[in-house]
Structure 1
């Protein structure tokens, strides 16, 4: 007989999260979205049921629904065996939904667009404004496509749709990376809908349904360039001075904009030698040794950094700061827009943004022979491959770095 249990999708969430049924049988694992949601504070992980508490008065009915699902999967599995049918995840799901066909707990059938609309609203509680903006933009393009060509639902997301949609996006003169971001977001929507039991069409997981990506012309600032920025006398322009200081904090901590602009006195620990912070995007706790430049800036502001401008405003002011530092060498950029490759030289200061700080940190530490695994502990990269794609090292810099390797001596 198989073994059933219930788990929470996000056990550490502060808001309601989905409950999944996990059924293990014959060395296989079946996962099913119950359609039920609960705040983890009301969940008993031992009993795998809602706690008996006055704060959640409907716990008897809620647990009864989970009991029904558990009985349903056990009955479905037993009936398949009794009928001489070898259980697999597909026929097990069908048999379970027959058991639950009275619709007491069966997830409500949603259209793709209704699901996306609800998912975006739900995501506002636990995802960044930037992510919500990406979701909304992708949703807008999907609605435009459906209006111009034909209605879209879960079963519409096929390889034929993929090829047609790529053409549609390219007509909007979008860069390859922007197109890729929209495809990636659609796949995220479909994955989430599949996990929740709203979708059974898995063609979006075909290897040909791929996210387009081309290497961006992201730049980094070397240690010498950062020293030029640090030495700038910006007292006559408090706004630029503030932007410069915050940017340097990012360059010497590797933190994202959302994190280095939120450093508080309580994040400075170990006798003012380490920053400890939980990153906003991943929830990861990182510890970063304080660089002397960071210590100087923190001392200047008494460990309480000034309130930052918005990311976009900071990017605008930052270009002025880098220009004043004399960092204006021409960089040849290449971008594919609307299917056409466009090359043009751009002054380096115009390519600098708040994210350049994070790239500069990773690249400068890599060139300084800091072990890759130590850098990844701060940047949060999961694989060395993804990390090496992230850093910016020119062919000459790579050759200079190899000159000190024993193989070349």
Structure 2
């Protein structure tokens, strides 16, 4: 018959440490935290109990508790054998807890919202500011929803029924777009995956096919090579701010870098001998090498290879619309968005849709139209799959047809 024994979590600690119950049976080992703590100087390693000393006056009750737990695990093991049940750690733990019911210190239960709050706090040292902002926003909506339905949210409540009700809440009560709702579900899945990896969550409903991250194709635009040449040709010398914004934007259009990267280019990133720009991207940490386009070379020369300091993204986007408007990008573009569960269609001038991210999208699309292999473009943009890359580039049906006209199949 196996015997229960007790060990200290940290036997050499100078302060109190946890006491573990260890039970070796049938070539298996069951380990359980008793919840009791003791200073190692009061522990009798040979007897595996507290020393009977006046310096630790609680020893009678302390040892009696360990005896009760030892009897409980032995009773549970015998009962399983008598009932013809083959023990394993999961079965034995359940039987043990039943045997000592009411006499075990239960650990504090970690709820879903508690976990998310702690995880966000942990992430402050490892995640980007944008990611933390997304985490906090998703957490806020979850708390508001819990208050709205007057029920606590926990791991076992994240079911398909919850999914349907919560996405409806975000869509109709907060009037969020389909893509924004999808981002909140994606963030919730991030929290649940982390909790699952840590052994805290056992509910796998969030991995079901219907618990999906919705995504609606965006109406993001790109600027053609001719449109970019026109922007470059405009004389903005009477407006230094627009001149600077235009130049930085063109750097993005001909390098494919994100705003956070093309605004940080330094002379040491440029290999003038090979005519290549090399930089480690902030978002992914990848090191990319990009051939220097003639436009990039001209702009670098204009600033003596030291690009001007950029405005913050919001201000850049505001000034970019002025640059695009002056450059004549006033043709109407129809945009479609599903918001509050309703499809909304609007016509707006193209310049209103230009942002710093238009630069990166323009780079990818223009290279694709120029028959540069997708894999070569993806080496710069960082897309992992061709599928995600094809969703990223923006070409019309007509542009796609024009591209195919030069294909051998159609000749």
State the TM bucket, normalised to the shorter chain. Answer: 0.7 to 0.9
Which residue number corresponds to residue 156 of structure 1?
A: 157
Tell me: CA distance 1:92–1:232, structure 2 relative to 1, closer, same or farther (3 Å).
farther
The alignment's C-alpha RMSD in Å is 3.2
Give the one of 324, 340, 345 matched to 1:322: 324
The Cα offsets for residues 16-55 of structure 1, whole Å up to 9 and x where unpaired, read as xxxxxxxxxxxxxxxxxxxxxxxxxxxxxxxxxxxxxxxx
Distance (whole Å) between structure 1 residues aligned to residue 224 and residue 410 of structure 2:
25
Residues 9-408 of structure 1 aligned to structure 2 (within 5 Å): 75=29, 109-149=109-149, 150-171=151-172, 172-269=174-271, 271=273, 273-408=275-410
Distance (whole Å) between structure 1 residues aligned to residue 201 and residue 92 of structure 2:
12
Asked if the contact 1:327–1:348 (Cα under 8 Å) also holds between the matched residues in 2, the reply is yes
User: Per-residue deviation at 1:128?
Assistant: 2.0
User: Per-residue deviation at 1:111?
Assistant: 1.8
Tell me: CA distance 1:154–1:232, structure 2 relative to 1, closer, same or farther (3 Å).
same
Distance (whole Å) between structure 1 residues aligned to residue 359 and residue 392 of structure 2:
12
Tell me: CA distance 1:393–1:200, structure 2 relative to 1, closer, same or farther (3 Å).
same
The Cα offsets for residues 174-211 of structure 1, whole Å up to 9 and x where unpaired, read as 11011111111111111111112221111111110001
User: Per-residue deviation at 1:340?
Assistant: 0.5
Distance (whole Å) between structure 2 residues aligned to residue 278 and residue 351 of structure 1:
28
Tell me: CA distance 1:75–1:377, structure 2 relative to 1, closer, same or farther (3 Å).
same
**Range with bigger deviation, 299-308 or 151-160:** 299-308
The Cα offsets for residues 59-118 of structure 1, whole Å up to 9 and x where unpaired, read as x87xxx9xx9xx9997359x9xx999698xx959979x99xxxxxxx9974221122122
Distance (whole Å) between structure 2 residues aligned to residue 93 and residue 361 of structure 1:
61
User: Per-residue deviation at 1:166?
Assistant: 1.0
Tell me: CA distance 1:315–1:108, structure 2 relative to 1, closer, same or farther (3 Å).
farther
User: Per-residue deviation at 1:124?
Assistant: 2.3
Number of corresponding residues: 335
Distance (whole Å) between structure 1 residues aligned to residue 91 and residue 121 of structure 2:
32
**Range with bigger deviation, 216-225 or 275-284:** 275-284
Q: Partner of 2:254: helix, strand, or coil? A: helix
Asked if the contact 1:193–1:199 (Cα under 8 Å) also holds between the matched residues in 2, the reply is yes
Distance (whole Å) between structure 2 residues aligned to residue 311 and residue 176 of structure 1:
24
Which residue number corresponds to residue 39 of structure 2?
A: none
Distance (whole Å) between structure 2 residues aligned to residue 187 and residue 311 of structure 1:
29
Distance (whole Å) between structure 2 residues aligned to residue 401 and residue 159 of structure 1:
44
User: Per-residue deviation at 1:152?
Assistant: 0.7
Distance (whole Å) between structure 2 residues aligned to residue 298 and residue 376 of structure 1:
25
Distance (whole Å) between structure 1 residues aligned to residue 107 and residue 366 of structure 2:
51
Unaligned runs of 5+ in 1: 1-57, 99-105
Q: TM-score, normalization: structure 2?
A: 0.75
Tell me: CA distance 1:93–1:125, structure 2 relative to 1, closer, same or farther (3 Å).
farther
Q: Partner of 2:347: helix, strand, or coil? A: strand
Distance (whole Å) between structure 1 residues aligned to residue 107 and residue 229 of structure 2:
58
Q: Partner of 1:332: helix, strand, or coil? A: strand
User: Per-residue deviation at 1:304?
Assistant: 2.0
Q: Partner of 1:328: helix, strand, or coil? A: coil
